[in-house]
């Protein structure tokens, strides 16, 4: 279970700095949320992208959410959330993008539920799969990204798998693209020199340009 805008400062920096800079440099946004659970993270990013498009309507975008749990992906596509998952969400986002749902409490969604509007839901493409299998077998079809969010996924992996994951993700990031980790995640020392950390103490890393 996650929340919308979990670790609000991360999303504040994505909103004010990272997404606008990526849009300006690349002219497009290609975003991947790994371990997206019920969709809160990619949908949060979608809201930020939606607002960015009000100023930069020419920017093309693609937002992908992936999780190993098919039930979680099914719920993500429905876009119905208990009120508790919006506790870190500013009121203006709730007013703009959610409506109170009339789904019955017997559905298991809790006593008060919110439905994310269809425009934001349509901005995210969900898929089910194990991240290591995807990187091993579908890497060519997936292409490259300029923003990857991989937060709180590493805890399920041993150190060897973590290092392989980071090498694959680094390979999939465009130069100057950004990788966002969870607060408790640590980037392996072998990978760290290839990234800069523009916001001290915040787990947002920018892939350095290659020499020459």
* DSSP string for 48-82: HHHHHHTT-TT-EEEEEEEES-HHHHHHHHHTEEE
Strand, coil or helix: 178: strand
Structural domain includes residue 111: no
Q: Name every residue whose Cβ is closer than 8 Å to that of residue 61 and which is 6 or more positions away in sequence.
A: 28, 29, 30, 31, 49, 53, 123
What's the maximum distance between 2 C-alpha atoms anywhere in the chain? 61
181: domain range?
Answer: 8-77+118-207
CATH number, domain containing residue 15: 3.40.50.150
pLDDT of residue 114: 95
Structural domain includes residue 103: no
pLDDT tens digits for 28-74? 999 999 999 999 999 999 999 999 999 888 999 999 999 999 999 99
Structural domain includes residue 89: no
pLDDT at 109 over 50: no
Structural domain includes residue 30: yes
Which of 168, 161, 120, 119 shows the shortest CA–CA distance to 144? 168
pLDDT of residue 104: 54
Q: Tokens in use for 117?
A: 């509007």
Structural domain includes residue 168: yes
Structural domain includes residue 53: yes
Q: Tokens in use for 164?
A: 């392989």
Structural domain includes residue 58: yes
pLDDT at 81 over 70: yes
pLDDT tens digits for 159-212? 888 899 999 999 999 999 999 999 989 898 989 999 999 999 999 999 999 865
Structural domain includes residue 85: no
Our count of domains for the chain comes to 1
Instruction: Classify each residue of 166-203 as buried b or exposed e, where b means 16 or more C-beta atoms within 10 Å of its C-beta.
Output: bebbbebbbeebbbbbbeeeebeeebeebbeeeeeebb
């Amino acid at each position: 279970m996650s929340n919308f805008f979990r670790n609000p400062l991360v999303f504040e920096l994505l909103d004010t700095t990272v997404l606008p800079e990526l849009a300006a440099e690349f002219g497009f946004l290609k975003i991947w949320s790994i371990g997206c659970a019920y969709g809160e993270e990619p949908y949060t990013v979608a809201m930020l992208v939606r607002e960015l498009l009000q100023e930069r309507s020419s920017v093309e975008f693609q937002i992908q959410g992936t999780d190993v749990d098919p039930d979680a992906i099914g719920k993500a596509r429905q876009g119905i959330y208990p009120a508790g998952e919006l506790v870190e969400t500013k009121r203006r986002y709730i007013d703009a993008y959610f409506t109170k749902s009339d789904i019955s409490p017997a559905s298991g969604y809790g006593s008060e539920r919110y439905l994310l509007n269809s425009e934001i839901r349509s901005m995210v493409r969900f898929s089910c799969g194990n991240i290591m299998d995807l990187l091993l077998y579908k890497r060519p079809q997936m292409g490259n990204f300029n923003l990857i969010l991989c937060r709180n996924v590493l805890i399920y992996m041993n150190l060897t798998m973590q290092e392989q994951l980071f090498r694959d993700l680094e390979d999939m990031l465009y130069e100057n693209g950004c990788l966002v980790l969870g607060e408790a995640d640590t980037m392996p020392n072998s990978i760290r020199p290839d990234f800069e950390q523009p916001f001290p103490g915040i787990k947002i890393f920018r892939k350095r340009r290659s020499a020459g």
